């Protein structure tokens, strides 16, 4: 028998080892922490579920509760305004009962070792508003903490401040770490008020921290607030020592965050839907541009035209964006006029060049005025020469574009 055949015979005699079954890891429920009585004594309700212990603080508010310059009850009218809208805006949610205001406190900014130790949820209900703040009893009780928030139930519109970039990704990370025991966490529809705040007050505010927005926009000023960077230290100490006194400051900090989310949603809705006004044109101009970016062109033009009608100064940006909308609608003469109005002195260099380029294009292709097209090319070239801060490569591209347009316009004039 050949060597190869012998090997084949021996192979047949080998029995395959049975596949090893995956181990089923049974969840071992941790014992309640030793400090549970002390935490309960300061008003934290102890909840024991199948995964361990979690602490909760529950507060109820009437619709008349004021926070800064707004009442919480104004949320109902704000949601109703969106119910009558076309739904194109990312803030559009017509049912106040679906809005769930959500904010977390964590032991770190990122990484799998960073825990969420507090989750605040604020929502409207029959009696007004209910705030539930869940506090992690300790790392061993994380599954109990996450489960008790009820965020796995879904069906809500989650409203946050920087939640799309931080709070929700952090929650998903922690949920993944406990996925063997918890129900699946679905991605809800989210409204991130930080994104909206930046869109509305871009160029007008130095800081977009929630505390700054409270003071600059919402008329709310915190007293004796615990700085956010101290939160991880305070929580770690509360778990180690069992003393909850300093932790109460973090709970209050989180409560203020959530109340501010409600009033900020109300305030932004009023601005976006023209229920209230800012004293300067910039926020309204930014809103008009935002609607334009959402392809709600009619709404965008309406807002921008109001800016140019109501304000006398600082309307250059409004005229600039209005020019593009009017051009899109085929109102070429009005578009040219808007771009000319935009060149009143407030535009930055790039937008000034683009406005001149648009005027030249309109006159060359739509209005049939080649002389004006040539003049505006020359205006742009003269402006470009004085832009010493522009990078040479970019400056060269602009120069080449205007030289090409200028040559074409002159050739057309000669043929006439």
pLDDT of residue 345: 80
* Token pair of 388 as six digits: 């010493």
Which residue in 116, 12, 122 sits closest to 57, CA to CA? 122
Contacts of 17 (CB under 8 A, 6+ apart): none
Residue 12: per-residue pLDDT: 54
Instruction: Of 140, 103, 100, give the one whose Cα is nearest residue 118.
Output: 103
Q: Are 136 and 115 in contact (CB under 8 A)?
A: yes
pLDDT for position 22: 41
- Per-10-residue mean pLDDT of the chain, 416 residues long, equals 55 49 67 98 98 98 98 94 85 88 91 89 96 98 98 95 96 96 95 97 96 97 94 96 97 98 97 87 96 95 96 95 98 98 92 98 97 97 95 97 97 91
Judge if pTM exceeds 0.85. yes
Angle between helices 231-241 and 247-272 (to 10 degrees): 140
User: What kind and span of H or E run contains 66?
Assistant: strand 66-67
Phi, psi of 52 (to 5 degrees): 145, -145
Q: What is the pLDDT of residue 24?
A: 45
Place of tokens 């707004």: 70
- Measuring CA to CA, which residue among 223, 231, 243 is closest to residue 42? 243
Beta-bridged to residue 101, according to DSSP, are 122, 159
Closest listed residue to residue 259, CA positions, set 54, 97, 79, 62: 62
The DSSP secondary structure of 71-90, one letter per residue, reads ETTHHHHHHHHHHTS-S-ST
Q: Which two tokens stand for residue 307?
A: 């800016």
């Amino acid at each position: 028998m050949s060597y190869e055949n012998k090997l084949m015979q021996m192979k047949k005699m080998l029995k395959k080892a049975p596949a090893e079954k995956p181990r089923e890891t049974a969840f071992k429920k941790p014992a309640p922490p030793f400090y549970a009585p002390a935490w309960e004594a300061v008003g934290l309700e102890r909840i024991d579920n199948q995964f361990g212990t979690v602490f909760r603080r529950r507060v109820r508010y009437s619709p008349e509760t004021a926070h800064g310059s707004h009442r919480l009850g104004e949320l109902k009218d704000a949601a109703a305004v969106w119910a009558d809208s076309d739904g194109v805006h990312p803030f559009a949610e017509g049912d106040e009962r679906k809005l769930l205001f959500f904010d977390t406190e964590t032991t770190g900014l990122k990484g799998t070792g960073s825990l969420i130790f507090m989750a605040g949820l604020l929502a409207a209900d029959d009696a007004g508003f209910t705030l539930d703040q869940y506090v992690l009893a300790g790392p061993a009780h994380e599954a109990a903490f996450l489960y008790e928030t009820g965020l796995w139930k879904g069906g809500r519109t989650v409203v946050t401040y920087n939640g799309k970039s931080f709070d929700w990704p952090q929650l998903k990370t922690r949920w993944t770490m406990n996925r063997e025991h918890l129900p699946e966490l679905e991605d809800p529809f989210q409204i991130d008020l930080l994104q909206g705040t930046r869109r509305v007050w871009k160029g007008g505010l130095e800081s977009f921290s929630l505390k700054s927005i409270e003071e600059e926009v919402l008329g709310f000023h915190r007293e004796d607030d615990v700085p956010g960077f101290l939160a991880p230290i305070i929580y770690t100490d509360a778990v180690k020592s069992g003393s909850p006194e300093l932790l109460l400051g973090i709970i209050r900090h989180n409560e203020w965050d959530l109340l501010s989310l409600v009033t900020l949603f109300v305030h932004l809705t009023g601005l976006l839907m023209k229920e209230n006004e800012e004293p300067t044109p910039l926020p309204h101009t930014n809103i008009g541009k935002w609607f334009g970016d959402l392809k709600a062109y009619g709404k965008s033009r309406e807002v921008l035209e109001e800016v140019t009608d109501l304000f006398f100064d600082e309307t250059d940006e409004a005229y600039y964006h209005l020019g593009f909308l009017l051009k899109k609608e085929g109102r070429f003469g009005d578009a040219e006029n808007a771009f000319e109005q935009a060149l009143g002195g407030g535009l930055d260099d790039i937008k000034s060049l683009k406005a001149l380029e648009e005027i030249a294009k309109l006159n060359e292709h739509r209005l049939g005025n080649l002389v004006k097209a040539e003049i505006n090319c020359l205006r742009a070239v003269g402006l470009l020469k004085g832009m010493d801060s522009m990078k040479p490569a970019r400056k060269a591209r602009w120069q080449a574009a205007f030289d090409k347009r200028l040559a074409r316009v002159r050739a057309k004039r000669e043929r006439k």
